[in-house]
Amino acid sequence: MRSTIFLLLLSSVFLTCPLHAQNAKVNYEKLAKELEVRELSTLMFAKYNDANLRKIDAYLEKHPKAPEREKVLYLRAYSIWSLHRYEEAPPAYAALLKEFPKTKFSRIARIREAAAYLFSGQPEQALRRLQALQKEFPDRPEMYARELAYALSRCGKQDEALAFMNHVETEMLFSKKDRLLPRIKHHFDMVRMIGKPLRDFKVKDHRSGREISPETLKGKIVLMDFWATWCRPCLAELPHVKGTHETFSHAGFEVFGISLDDNRAKLDRMIADREMDWLHHYDGKKWKNELAVKFGVHSVPANLLVDQKGIVRGVNLRGKAVRNMVAKLLDAP
């Protein structure tokens, strides 16, 4: 009798496990179709929004042991990152790396985990992870060089950042990786502005016609924010910019928006609708905008944070990093 019960239980296990695995696979295929997932070796892309993120979470809860979890955990982290929820992204990438330490997504997950720490105003956390990548892949700086340069600079290690960038440029030229260098060098050149006086310019405010120059901006902490109405990441950053302006404008903080648009009516509508009540520059030249050319801006969002004396103190800040650095500059003697 006991042996019969045991055999029944054993057969139940063998019948149930493949069924669960089959259900997990079918549900993953359905999920992938709904999210319009595309796979490219060690990368995945999908349609990201709150509704799809809930579908991902439901799958992970329903299938705690499914082989497809590796991909779904990556899709979860990818979606959170793509929605610019930088404070939530590091734990999401960490969950993937903990459950699948040898995942094929390891390198991109580690870089984005570090970048999310950087964008959420936690440069020390970012630096530690990026230096681990540097130690592990000393001959692959193109993977992490941009983020590591920013992290060193924001941790108060500007001299180390300069030395690192010079070394990377030299090594990439000697190893014949110069075709990868331009997109990295653009970021390096931004970091090299830190600690230097703001480059000279003279333009007019888009709405009032008043002159704007480094001289007229002195005495205030200024965020020079390069953006465009058609740039989704720029619009995702807008709440952080606006919140920082609302909090610190009374204490001497100013936003100077530089639009890379060529449609004045659309720009004016967005300024009014989003209540972007700060300085603006517009010349309708898109990527040939005179200030974009002067400051070497080749992608948006991009920004420079300038102190009361006209010295650049931060570049390409995202998320809470803007608020944190403005608060720090206002507290400085």
Which domains can be identified in the chain, with CATH numbers? 15-118 (1.25.40), 122-191 (no CATH), 203-331 (3.40.30.10)
Structure tokens at 202: 């003279």
Q: Read off the amino acid at residue 191.
A: V
- Which of 193, 111, 170 lies closest to 144, judged by CA? 111
Answer for the pair 218, 310: CB distance below 8 angstroms, yes or no. Answer: yes
pLDDT at res. 19: 53
- Work out the pLDDT band at 4, boundaries 50, 70, 90: low
Instruction: Write out pLDDT tens, residues 152-170.
Output: 999 999 999 999 999 999 9
Inform me whether the pLDDT recorded for 1 exceeds 80.
Answer: no
- Work out the pLDDT band at 11, boundaries 50, 70, 90: very low
Inform me whether the pLDDT recorded for 330 exceeds 70.
Answer: yes
pLDDT at res. 102: 94
What is the helix, strand, coil percentage profile of the chain, to 5? 60, 10, 30
Residue showing tokens 């709904």: 34
- Buried b / exposed e along 73-111 (16+ C-beta atoms within 10 A): bbbbbbbbbbbbbbeebbebbeebbeebeebebebbbbb
- Work out the pLDDT band at 8, boundaries 50, 70, 90: very low
DSSP structure string for 64-101: TT-TTHHHHHHHHHHHHHHTT-TTTHHHHHHHHHHH-T
Residues 192, 60: Cα–Cα separation, whole Å? 44
Inform me whether the pLDDT recorded for 14 exceeds 90.
Answer: no
Average pLDDT (234-253) is 96
pLDDT at res. 15: 44
Burial class (CB in 10 A: 0-12, 13-18, 19+), 117: buried
Instruction: Write out pLDDT tens, residues 48-90.
Output: 999 999 999 999 999 999 999 999 999 999 999 999 999 999 9
pLDDT at res. 18: 57
- Work out the pLDDT band at 20, boundaries 50, 70, 90: low
- Work out the pLDDT band at 6, boundaries 50, 70, 90: very low
- Work out the pLDDT band at 10, boundaries 50, 70, 90: very low
Q: How many residues does the chain have?
A: 333
Query: Is the full-model pTM beyond 0.75?
Result: yes
Answer for the pair 113, 97: CB distance below 8 angstroms, yes or no. Answer: yes
Inform me whether the pLDDT recorded for 296 exceeds 70.
Answer: yes
Burial class (CB in 10 A: 0-12, 13-18, 19+), 6: exposed
- Work out the pLDDT band at 241, boundaries 50, 70, 90: very high
Distances (CA, A) of 29 to 35, 217, 228: 10, 56, 37
Query: 132: Cβ–Cβ under 8 A, 6 or more apart, which residues?
Result: 110
Q: Alpha-carbon dihedral of residues 302, 93, 46, 51, nearest 10 degrees?
A: -100
Residues 1, 8: Cα–Cα separation, whole Å? 11
Instruction: Write out pLDDT tens, residues 256-292.
Output: 999 999 999 999 999 999 999 999 999 999 999 999 9
Instruction: Write out pLDDT tens, residues 165-222.
Output: 999 999 999 988 888 888 899 999 999 999 999 999 999 999 999 999 999 999 999 9
Instruction: Work out the percent of the chain whose per-residue pLDDT is above 70.
Output: 93
- Work out the pLDDT band at 17, boundaries 50, 70, 90: low
Strand partners, 197: 311
Helical pair 50-62 and 2-34, crossing angle rounded to 10 deg: 170
Residues 115, 82: Cα–Cα separation, whole Å? 12
Residues 226, 27: Cα–Cα separation, whole Å? 43
